[in-house]
Amino acid sequence: MTRTRPRKRRSGVLVLILLLLAGAAAWLLWERYTGFADAPLSGFDAADTVVIERGDSLPVVIGKLRELGISQGEEIEWRLLGRQLDADGRLHVGEYVLVEGITPRELLLAMRDGKVLQRRFTIVEGWNIRELRAALARAPLEQEAAELDDAALMEALGKPGEHPEGRFLPETYAYTGGDSDLDVLRRANAAMERTLAAAWAQRGPDTPLRTAEEMLILASIVEKETGIASERPQIAGLFVQRLRIGMRLQTDPTVIYGLGESFDGNLKKEHLVADGPYNSYTRAGLPPTPISMPAWVRNLRRVSRIMALVATLQTARLRFWPSLRAWRRAASVSAVSPDCDTTTTRASLSGTLSR
């Protein structure tokens, strides 16, 4: 008995020491872990971003962070933090900004909650398809359309056989890292189809436009004819009346579009007399396709009665007249009156636009 008790005491002391050591080790590990989880990350450049793609696991994301220069934390610490935050397996696809001072905890919470960086791409009113594609190529998007010609582009968008001009609504579209140029174009195309369908459904009963496609073409011409929004209803009305009476539209933007990349900014008489599908001086009716991306298609449904639009309407840049006789009368007055400026006068002969 006397020998057993000292052994038991020594065993008890040893167990106590081991427990204390284990507790100290656990405390040190917890301090290290919490120090990792809530300490600012470093090693990356200002405004660096990390992109989570479809199928990326937490270890893959950790590898991407290492590539950016972030060395803090062992993989097991990241995985424990991910499990604690219920983020492991729930990381949202997208692009995340590594702001100065961000901690591992804040970063994983942002990835779990999908707080992605929202970028924006704007399709400008009046752009043509060449300008749109050039702008997309400069944007930080995945480039899937760059090697496609126009026909292949529309096929990739599920619109085989359609001409791409005018098919994308001018608007600002938000996107995130990992999105492609085709993703943006799909959304812009769907937006244009919805807008055009709504405008066509509200068309006037006396419109000479036979299809929604013709409405889109006319809107694209009006978009390019003037950059002043207040002039567009009058100009659209004049074009509508020209179409109604079978008169040529005689508008420069269609000719310029037909010249394509060969146009050097100087429209000459030889261009106006050279016949072609887009020459509205030599051919009546509408050109075969739109000539720009028209935001104004939303408003074209309002153009229903020409005389209601042009009668007595004036703007700072344009004056509209209900007939050629009225315009000639005004022009003859301006010849003797310095107060009348005919350089900004446009007239309509039941819809004739005189420059």
Q: Is residue 325 over pLDDT 80? A: no
At 352, list the tokens.
């004739």
With a pLDDT cut of 70, the percent of the chain lying above it is 75
How is the chain split into domains, by residue range?
35-117, 119-197, 205-311
pTM of this structure = 0.73
Does 235 score more than 80 pLDDT?
yes
The overall longest dimension of the chain from CA atoms, in Å, is 137
Amino acid at 198: A
CA gap 6, 70 in Å, rounded: 54
In this structure, which CATH number among 3.40.50, 2.60.120, 3.30.1490, 3.30.70 belongs to the domain 35-117?
3.30.1490
Q: Quick check: helix, strand or coil at residue 84? A: helix
> How does residue 227 score in pLDDT terms, banded at 50, 70 and 90?
confident
Query: What separation in angstroms does the CA of 115 have from each of 54, 98, 316?
Result: 16, 12, 48
- Give the Cα separation of 275 and 282 in Å (integer): 6
Name the region of 246 (left: φ>0; alpha: ψ -120 to 50; beta: rest): left
Range scoring the smallest mean pLDDT among 68-77, 267-276, 292-301, 330-339: 330-339
Q: Coil, helix or strand for 214? A: helix
β-pair type (49-52, 119-122) = unpaired
CA distances (Å), origin 323, targets 7, 115, 193, 326, 351? 121, 60, 36, 5, 8
Closest CA to 219 of 315, 352, 126: 126
Q: What is the pLDDT of residues 197-219, one digit of tens each?
A: 999 998 888 889 999 999 999 99
pLDDT surpasses 70 at 77: yes
Q: What is the distance between the alpha carbons of residues 297 and 192, in angstroms, rounded to a whole number? A: 9
How far does CA 71 lie from the centroid of its chain?
A: 37
Q: What is the pLDDT of residue 228?
A: 86
Which has the minimum average pLDDT: 13-27, 135-149, 277-291? 13-27
Encoding tokens for residue 239?
Answer: 């074009």
Which of 29-43, 92-106, 337-351 has the highest mean predicted lDDT (pLDDT)?
Answer: 92-106
Spatial separation of the C-alpha atoms in residues 31 and 34, rounded to whole Å: 5
Q: pLDDT tier at 315 (50, 70, 90 boundaries)?
A: very low
Contact in structure between 346 and 354 (CB atoms under 8 Å): yes
